[in-house]
Every structure is written in structure tokens, then in C-alpha cells.
């Protein structure tokens, strides 16, 4: 960033503060550490950086990122951003949980935030955890999948049997059952987030058993799922980002996690002087932090879209209780008529 | 001496290539190098990070260099590193003895496991003539997936995580780990600014092990008949066989020592820095960087020591141009590549040196 840009930003910031008659403060400086995926991972790291760039554009925040090449880089990168005197340091992804915990204890005056991880009661006062109610987006995706299926069989492919994936899984299944109680759902975990070939094999197997809409929550394993679906010309549901571009005719919707919006929310609150340290924030449909992909409108009939819009309102109003684990899912099934 | 000059010239040329690339991506090379220099040496904690970063690189560098000196190209340091790390993480977790027994024992087991793993390639070459480059590359992947598999052993895996449980504190070689976050330690450190900064990173005893390994490798190669035989096999297997050396056994032994060194790197990394292992999507590159370290250090133990520090510093400080200048940190990878490229074509330098001598 050139000096000119910086001064422009500063000037615009001055103007804003003057006109809104708030007290003057230097612009906030915020940095993020990516996990080993890097900042162009087509997934959550990229989404996080997009969120920070938006805070730069709209709020005049000074932003920077530090990519990790190895897991051992996390502490060093967190320290680099600490030495650069950032007001808030983001760790993107639950892999960074241990490193952030140690850094937060060593530097009690530094503010930290972490995506996708909750320390529960043990959250240090200078750390805020950000979690997503992924089940809410997945519920809508499951509803759509169920309505679009011709064979009456759906498939779910997860990365690993861990809580973050369960929220996608049971949200999706709950939505599917909500639309059609008799629908069959095949489930399998790939035990990997990287092995696309395995995703393809599982997808083919599921389609062999009659599944015609497949949902994945498995990182790069999903690339293989979508590829298989494209070859057999069936339907797929993407995850995290709008994955329609990967197979424009087959990806009917995506269960999105808007990490960018969540980061923007936290940063703009901090900009107003609010920091919810020591807590875990849960973002959902209501906050625009999870949703279904915008491209869904092109892929499904408008009658169904109206249904989905209605459902969305009900979820935001808290009328539907969406399960995010197996136990809750089982008791949820009993409530269905 | 000539090798030293070639290495230095290659480093300078590599920095120039890096500068050109920085310039092309619209960043002032001088500014970037200044950020890197300050990011490496301006604070005590940076120095400790460089030491921490360099430790595994020195050891894997030694591993590759040792194999090179005995005529073998060990690309498998990566896999042997993983085996060493995995073994250390596992036994560091299951065993919990007195630290004075625990630490050497876990380290020994990790080293032996990696020695066996390295020796496998040596044996395959000696017995069946399988080229070590091929077998080590494949064994790298086997090690990676084996490690990913072992992580999922029930009880060893941290519940609902892609990592294992931490090793027991009795296995840790991190220096004053508990003391520095204790009240007494925090109080003392707050009065001593230098140490406060220096001790912030996970400073560990791994570097002493690496230094010791440098000395031992130097002694084996230069002062023992065993080392002489290994080198003889490297120079000419047929001649040494004629001289009565059992070349097959020597090849296997050489790969075992090479593997042991890489495994030691993995063990110090787990016991001093990471404290556990995580599922790997791809190779982390400790072993592959070892090849670069060995080449820049012209396969001499002492050269490896310095090039290990150099690469560690470059890799650590190079990342800093990203957050402060928004520069692509891939430049560092290109720079290291360029340095090795120049080292690999010494004839250019010979040509330059000769013509320079003719008309100074």
C-alpha cells in the first residue's frame, strides 16, 4: 500500500469521525493468521481475508495477513502480528486454538479472536471465539435437496466425525426430513479433508445406491464429490462458499458460512469500542453469517424459493429448533408429524 | 574454500533474483530486505525463533549431507522426519518416566524407528538394486499416511480434533517451560527485558542436540575407518568391493545413519516445539528443506550448520514481508530455488573465476 493510499484513507477517516462527531482515535490495526491452507484457499481463509478487506474499505481499518506454511508457524506468526502492534489478531480456523490460547496468556493485554473454535468457560478475557450455527444454513439446504430429489434418496459426505461437521450433517438431515419424512439419507465420513479421490469414490457408491442429491462438508474431499456428480449429471449441495461455479448445472445450492460477515461484525463492533472478550459468539441466519448461496435462485423453481424464504423467517424467529448433534436430531425426529 | 565461495556467490545471486521478482510485483526490494533483516535480528525473540526454526533444518541437512557423502541421494528425509516425529509423539504420550530417563529413551526410540525406515531404502538398494531416490520418495508418502493413520488411534487422538494428545511434560525439552509462565518466572522476566523477549518463543534444547550431531557426523566422516569405508563405497562401489568392503552392508548402514539424523529432527521438533502431531494434508517440507541445506552447505557438517541457520533465518524473516508490505512470501521459495540452481551449476562460476583471473 502506497503512502498516498494511506494518507487518503486517513483523510477519509478523519472526515468520517468529524462528521459523525465521535471522539478522534487512530484507525484500528487488525491482522489475521491463516492456517496452512493459505490466503487463496478458495475456502474459509479466503473468506476471512475478504471480510477484513471489507473493513478496510468501509471502516478505514488497517489490515494485514500472515500465511502459515506449517502448523509450527502459528505461534511465530501470531507473535509477528503482536510485534506489529495490531489492535486485534485473528486466528482463522480451529487448528490455531492451542497457539492462540498460549499467546493470549503470554500477552494478556493483546486482543485475539478465533474462528470456528470455542474455549467454553475457559475462554481467556482477551479472546473472543466465533462459532457458526452452520445447522441453520444446512437445514435450508437439506429442505431444498429433499424437495428436488426424484429418487427419494439423499447422501451426506462428511470430512470427519467432529462437532463442526455434525452441525452440517444433522442440520441437513433435519431439513430433509422436514420436507419429506420418508426420505432416505445415506451418511458417510471420508476421514479426510483433503482426499478428493476418496470423495469421488464415496459419491459414486452413494449414487449407485440411488442417491440423486449429495451434500458434502468435507473441504477438498468435496471437490471429488462434485466432480462425480457432474459426471453422472446428478445434483450436489456445496459447502462454506457458493460452490456453484464448480459445476454450474449440478450444484443446486450451497450451505454457506459467511466468515467474512462474521469478521466484519466483530471488527465493526470493536471499531465502536465493544469487544466481547472471554466469550464465544454464535452467529446464525439472523446475523447473515450462515445462509444458502445466492445462485440458488437460478437453480430451483420459484415456488420452492418462496417456501425457503418462509422457512428462513421461521428459523430466525426461533420457531424451528434445529439439531446440531445426533442426540438432538433423534429427539427432533420424534417431534415431526 | 572454493565451495564456500560458490555458495556465497549463489546466495548473493539468489538474493538478486528475489529482488528482481519483488520489483516485478511492485515492491521495493531494498525495503523488503530491510524488513527481513530487522525481522530477523532486531529483537531477541526473533533470534530465538531463528534458532528454533533452524534446529530441524540443521538435522535434516546433516541427514541428506551424510547420505550424499557416501554416494546416496536421500530424498526420504521428509518421511524419516515424520516417522521420528510420530514415534516421539506416541511414546512421549504413553510413557511417563523420570525426565532424565524419559527424554533420552523417547529420543532413542524415535531415532531408531527412523533409522530403520531409512535403512529400508538402503537395504532395498543393496539387496534388489532399487534406486534410493525412487524408494525414498515412495516411502515419504507411506510415512505421511501411516502418521495420519496413527493419529486416529483411539486414546492417542485428541477427541474431535485432527491432532494427537500432547506429550507428557516429562518428555518436553523446552527450556524452563513451566517456570516462564509461573508467577515467579513472570516476575523475574519482567525485570529482565532481554530474557523476557528471548524466552517468549518455545526455546528448546534441540539446538544443542543438533550441534552435537554436527560434531558426531564430522568425526564419523573424517576420523573413523567406518566413515572412510562409507565414503569409499560412495566414491566407487566396485573399487571398494575389490578392496574387501562389504558394500551392501555399508549402503544400508549409511542410509540408517541418514535416517536416524532426520528422525532426530522430527523428535526434537515434537519434544521441543509442537508437543503433538497433526494430520498432514501434504508434506511440511522439513526434509526437503534439508536437501537445500545440504547443498548450500556443500555437504560439509560445519557448512550444513551455517546453511541451516541461514535458511532458518530466511524462512522465518521472509514471511514477515507479507504482513508489513503485502508482498508475496513465495518470493522466499523462489529465492531458495535460485540459490540452489546457481549452486548446481558451478561451471558458470568456474568460467567466471577463470576469466577474472586471466584479466583481473
3-class secondary structure, A251: strand
How many of the other CB atoms lie within 10 Å of CB of B148? 21
**Residue B128 CB neighbours (<10 A):** 8
> Are the CB atoms for B325 and B27 separated by under 8 Å?
yes
Closest partner residue to A160 among B39, B49, B162, by Cβ? B162
CB contact under 8 A, A106 and B43: no
Considering only CB atoms, which chain B residues are within 8 Å of A84?
323-324
Nearest-CA distance B108 → chain A (Å) = 23
Q: Which of B52, B322, B326, B336 would best serve as a mutation to test chain A binding (most A beta carbons within 10 A)?
A: B322
Nearest residue to A175 via CA among A201, A152, A142, A147: A142
Distance from C-alpha of A40 to C-alpha of B143, rounded to nearest angstrom: 28
Is pLDDT at A105 greater than 70 in this prediction? yes
Instruction: Name the least confident of A123-127, A218-222, A267-271, B252-256.
Output: A218-222
Select from B49, B202, B323 the Cβ nearest to the Cβ of A31: B323
- Please tell me the distance in Å from A102's CA to the nearest CA on chain B: 10
Q: Is the ipTM, as predicted for this complex, more than 0.85?
A: no
Cell, residue B261: 539424523
Question: How many angstroms separate the Cα of A126 from the Cα of each of A90, A92, B277?
Answer: 12, 16, 27
**Residue A2: pLDDT above 80?**
no
Give alpha helix (H) positions in A149-301.
163-179, 196-208, 221-232, 259-271, 296-299
Alpha-carbon span A182 to A158, nearest angstrom: 22
CB contact under 8 A, B323 and A72: no
Per-residue pLDDT tens digits for B214-268: 999 999 999 999 999 999 998 888 999 999 999 999 999 999 999 999 999 999 9
Query: B5 versus B140: which is more confidently predicted?
Result: B140
Cβ-contact B218, B301 below 8 angstroms: yes
Contact A80 B202 (CB under 8 A): no
User: Under an 8 A CB cutoff, do B181 and A163 touch?
Assistant: no
pLDDT in tens, A160-190: 888 889 999 999 999 999 999 999 999 999 9
**CA B110, chain centre distance (Å):** 15
Check if A248 contacts B (Cβ < 8 Å): no
Whole-number Cα distances in Å, A22 to A18, A25, A272, B243: 7, 9, 10, 88
pLDDT (average), residues B149-177: 90
> Closest Cα partner for B59 from B77, B82, B83, B32?
B77
| Cα gap B200→B221, rounded to integer Å | 37
Largest Cα separation within chain A, whole Å, is 65
Non-local CB neighbours of B174 within 8 Å, separated by 6+ positions: B202, B203, B204, B205, B271, B272, B273
Residue of chain B minimizing CA distance to A221 = B281
The SS3 assignment for B277 reads coil
Q: pLDDT tens for residues B10-24?
A: 899 999 999 999 999
- If you measure CA to CA, which chain A residue comes closest to B163? A95
Q: What is the Rg, in whole angstroms, of the alpha carbon atoms belonging to chain A?
A: 21
State the pLDDT at residue B341. 87
**B interface test, pick of A68, A70, A160 with most B CB neighbours within 10 Å:** A70
* Longest Cα separation, chain B: 71
Rounded Cα distance, A255 and A82, in Å? 34
The residue among A3, A32, A49, A83 with the most chain B CBs within 10 A of its CB, best to mutate, is: A83
Q: Which of B201, B281, B322 sits opposite A67 (nearest CB)?
A: B322
Strands A290-292 and A251-257, by their bridges, are antiparallel
Best of B35, B60, B145, B162 to disrupt the A interface (most A CBs within 10 Å) is B162
Smallest Cβ–Cβ distance between B323 and the set A81, A160, A220 belongs to A81
Query: Around Cβ B201, how many Cβ atoms within 10 Å?
Result: 23
Grid cell listed for A62: 488497517
**Between these two residues, A305 and B350, which has the higher pLDDT value?**
A305
Q: What is the pLDDT of residue A1?
A: 45
Do the chains contact at A80 and B326, CB–CB below 8 Å? no
Say if residues A73 and A49 touch (Cβ distance below 8 Å). no
| Nearest beta carbon to residue B274 from set A69, A72, A105 | A72
This prediction has a pTM of 0.84
Q: What are the tens digits of pLDDT across the range B20-79?
A: 999 998 889 999 999 999 999 999 999 999 999 999 999 999 999 999 999 999 999 999
What is the percentage of chain B residues whose pLDDT exceeds 90? 69
Other beta carbons less than 10 A from residue B153's beta carbon: 10
Cell of B47: 533470534
Contact B162 A95 (CB under 8 A): yes
> How far apart (Å, rounded) are the C-alpha atoms in residues B350 and B252?
35
CB contact under 8 A, B319 and A106: no
d(CA A263, CA A187): 32
Question: For A99, which residue in chain B has the nearest alpha carbon?
Answer: B274
Q: Is the pLDDT of residue A263 over 80?
A: yes
Interface of B with A (CB under 8 A): 39, 43, 45, 49, 53, 152, 160-163, 181, 200-202, 269, 273-274, 278, 281-282, 284-286, 316, 319-320, 322-324, 326, 329
| Contact yes or no for B49 and A81 at CB 8 A | no
- pLDDT band, very low/low/confident/very high, at B92 (cuts 50, 70, 90): very high
Query: Contact B39/A65, CB-based, under 8 Å?
Result: no
Do B281 and A194 count as a contact with CB atoms less than 8 A apart? yes
**A72 falls in which pLDDT band (50, 70, 90)?**
confident
The H-or-E segment that residue A65 falls in is strand A62-66
Q: Which of A39, A49, A69, A93 to mutate to test the interface with B (most CBs of B within 10 A)?
A: A69
> C-alpha distances in angstroms, A201 versus A195, A196, A207, A231, B218?
10, 9, 10, 12, 51
In terms of Cβ atoms closer than 10 Å to its own Cβ (0-12, 13-18, 19+), residue B136 is buried
Residues of chain B with Cβ-Cβ distance to A66 below 8 Å are 319-320, 322-323
Closest alpha carbon within chain B to A166? B160
Q: By the 8 A CB rule, do B275 and B166 touch?
A: yes
> Which of B281, B316, B322 lies at the smallest CB-CB distance from A76?
B316
Candidates A68, A71, A198, A219, partner chain B, best to mutate (most B CBs within 10 A): A71
* A326: contact with B, CB 8 A cutoff: no
Looking up cell 501411516, which residue turns up?
Answer: B146
In this complex, do B323 and A84 lie within 8 Å of one another by their Cβ atoms? yes
A194 vs B: CB within 8 A: yes
For residue A115, what is the enclosing H or E element?
A: strand A111-115
What domains can be seen in chain A, in order of their start residue?
3-117 (3.40.50.2300), 134-256+290-335 (3.40.50.2300)
Looking at residue A9, its pLDDT comes to 52
A128: left (phi over 0), alpha (psi -120 to 50) or beta: beta
Q: In angstroms, what CA-CA distances link B53 with A280, A292, B310?
A: 33, 43, 10
Alpha-carbon distance of B81 to B144, in angstroms, equals 10
pLDDT at B143 over 90: yes
pLDDT of residue B281: 79
Q: pLDDT category, A20, cuts 50, 70, 90?
A: very low
Report the SS3 class of residue A169: helix
Whole-angstrom CA distances from B180 to A96, A112, A132, A233 are 22, 21, 35, 60
pLDDT at position A17 over 70: no
Sequence-distant (6+) residues with CB within 8 A of B246 are none
**A69 CB within 8 Å of a chain B CB:** yes
Cβ of A106 within 8 Å of Cβ of B181? The answer is yes
Average of per-residue pLDDT across A211-240: 93
CA distance to partner chain B, nearest, from residue A97 (Å): 11
- Residues from chain B that touch A163, judged by Cβ atoms under 8 A, are 160
pLDDT-derived band at B356 (thresholds 50, 70, 90) equals confident
- Structural domains in chain B, sorted by start: 40-347 (1.10.3470)
Amino acid at each position: 500500500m502506497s503512502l498516498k493510499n494511506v494518507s487518503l484513507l486517513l483523510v477519509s477517516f478523519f472526515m468520517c469521525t468529524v462528521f459523525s462527531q465521535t471522539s478522534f482515535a487512530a484507525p484500528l490495526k487488525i491482522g489475521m493468521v491463516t492456517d496452512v491452507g493459505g490466503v487463496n484457499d478458495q475456502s474459509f481463509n479466503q473468506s476471512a481475508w475478504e471480510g477484513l478487506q471489507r473493513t478496510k474499505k468501509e471502516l478505514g481499518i488497517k489490515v494485514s495477513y500472515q500465511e502459515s506454511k506449517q502448523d509450527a508457524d502459528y505461534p511465530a506468526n501470531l507473535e509477528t502480528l503482536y510485534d506489529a502492534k495490531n489492535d486485534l489478531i485473528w486466528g482463522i480456523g480451529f487448528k490455531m486454538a492451542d497457539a492462540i490460547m498460549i499467546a493470549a496468556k503470554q500477552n494478556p493485554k493483546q486482543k485475539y479472536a478465533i474462528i470456528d473454535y470455542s474455549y467454553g468457560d475457559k475462554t481467556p478475557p482477551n479472546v473472543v471465539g466465533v462459532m457458526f450455527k452452520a445447522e441453520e444454513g444446512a437445514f435450508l439446504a437439506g429442505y431444498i435437496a429433499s424437495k428436488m430429489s426424484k429418487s427419494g434418496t439423499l447422501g451426506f459426505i462428511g470430512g470427519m466425525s467432529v462437532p463442526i461437521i455434525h452441525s452440517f450433517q444433522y442440520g441437513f438431515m433435519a431439513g430433509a426430513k422436514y420436507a419429506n419424512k420418508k426420505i432416505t439419507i445415506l451418511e458417510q465420513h471420508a476421514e479426510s479433508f483433503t482426499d478428493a479421490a476418496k470423495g469421488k469414490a464415496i459419491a459414486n457408491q452413494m449414487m449407485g445406491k440411488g442417491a440423486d442429491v449429495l451434500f458434502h462438508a468435507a473441504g477438498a474431499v468435496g471437490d471429488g464429490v462434485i466432480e462425480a456428480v457432474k459426471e453422472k449429471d446428478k445434483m450436489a449441495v456445496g459447502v462454506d462458499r457458493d460452490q456453484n461455479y464448480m459445476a454450474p448445472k449440478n450444484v443446486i445450492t450451497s450451505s454457506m458460512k459467511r466468515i467474512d460477515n462474521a469478521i466484519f461484525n466483530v471488527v465493526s463492533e470493536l471499531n465502536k469500542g465493544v469487544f466481547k472478550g472471554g466469550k464465544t459468539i454464535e452467529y446464525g441466519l439472523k446475523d447473515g453469517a450462515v445462509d444458502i448461496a445466492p445462485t440458488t435462485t437460478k437453480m430451483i423453481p420459484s415456488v420452492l424459493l418462496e417456501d425457503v424464504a418462509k422457512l428462513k423467517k421461521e428459523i430466525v424467529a426461533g420457531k424451528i429448533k434445529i439439531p446440531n448433534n445426533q442426540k438432538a436430531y433423534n429427539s427432533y425426529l420424534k417431534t415431526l408429524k | 574454500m572454493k565451495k564456500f565461495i560458490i555458495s556465497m556467490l549463489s546466495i548473493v545471486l539468489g538474493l538478486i533474483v528475489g529482488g528482481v521478482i519483488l520489483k516485478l510485483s511492485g515492491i521495493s526490494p531494498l525495503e523488503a530486505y530491510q524488513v527481513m533483516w530487522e525481522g530477523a535480528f532486531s529483537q531477541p525473540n526473533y533470534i530465538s525463533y531463528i534458532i528454533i526454526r533452524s534446529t530441524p533444518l540443521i538435522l535434516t541437512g546433516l541427514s541428506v549431507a551424510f547420505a550424499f557423502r557416501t554416494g546416496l541421494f536421500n530424498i526420504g528425509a521428509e518421511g524419516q522426519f515424520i516417522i521420528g516425529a510420530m514415534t516421539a509423539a506416541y511414546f512421549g504420550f504413553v510413557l511417563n518416566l523420570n525426565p532424565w530417563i524419559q527424554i533420552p529413551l523417547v529420543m532413542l526410540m524415535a531415532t531408531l524407528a527412523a533409522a530403520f525406515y531409512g535403512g529400508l531404502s538402503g537395504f532395498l538398494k543393496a539387496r534388489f538394486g532399487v534406486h534410493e531416490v525412487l524408494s525414498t520418495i515412495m516411502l515419504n508418502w507411506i510415512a505421511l499416511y501411516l502418521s495420519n493413520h496413527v493419529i486416529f488411534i483411539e486414546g492417542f487422538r485428541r477427541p474431535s480434533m485432527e491432532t494427537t494428545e500432547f506429550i507428557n511434560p516429562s518428555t518436553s525439552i523446552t527450556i524452563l517451560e513451566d517456570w516462564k509462565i509461573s508467577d515467579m518466572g513472570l516476575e523475574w522476566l519482567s525485570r529482565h527485558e532481554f530474557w523476557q523477549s528471548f524466552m517468549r518463543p518455545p526455546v528448546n534444547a534441540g539446538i544443542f542436540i543438533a550441534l552435537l550431531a554436527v560434531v558426531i557426523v564430522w568425526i564419523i566422516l573424517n576420523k573413523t575407518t567406518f566413515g572412510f569405508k562409507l565414503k569409499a563405497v560412495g566414491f566407487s562401489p566396485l573399487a571398494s568391493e575389490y578392496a574387501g568392503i562389504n558394500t551392501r552392508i555399508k549402503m544400508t548402514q549409511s542410509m540408517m545413519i541418514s535416517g536416524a539424523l532426520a528422525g532426530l529432527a522430527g523428535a526434537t521438533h515434537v519434544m521441543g516445539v509442537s508437543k503433538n502431531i497433526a494430520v498432514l494434508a501434504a508434506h511440511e517440507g522439513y526434509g526437503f528443506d534439508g536437501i537445500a541445506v545440504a547443498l548450500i552447505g556443500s555437504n560439509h557438517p560445519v557448512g550444513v550448520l551455517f546453511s541451516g541457520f541461514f535458511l532458518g533465518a530466511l524462512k522465518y524473516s521472509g514471511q514477515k514481508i507479507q504482513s508489513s508490505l503485502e508482498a508475496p512470501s513465495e518470493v522466499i521459495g523462489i529465492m531458495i530455488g535460485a540459490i540452489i540452481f546457481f549452486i548446481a551449476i558451478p561451471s558458470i562460476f568456474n568460467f567466471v573465476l577463470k576469466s577474472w583471473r586471466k584479466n583481473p
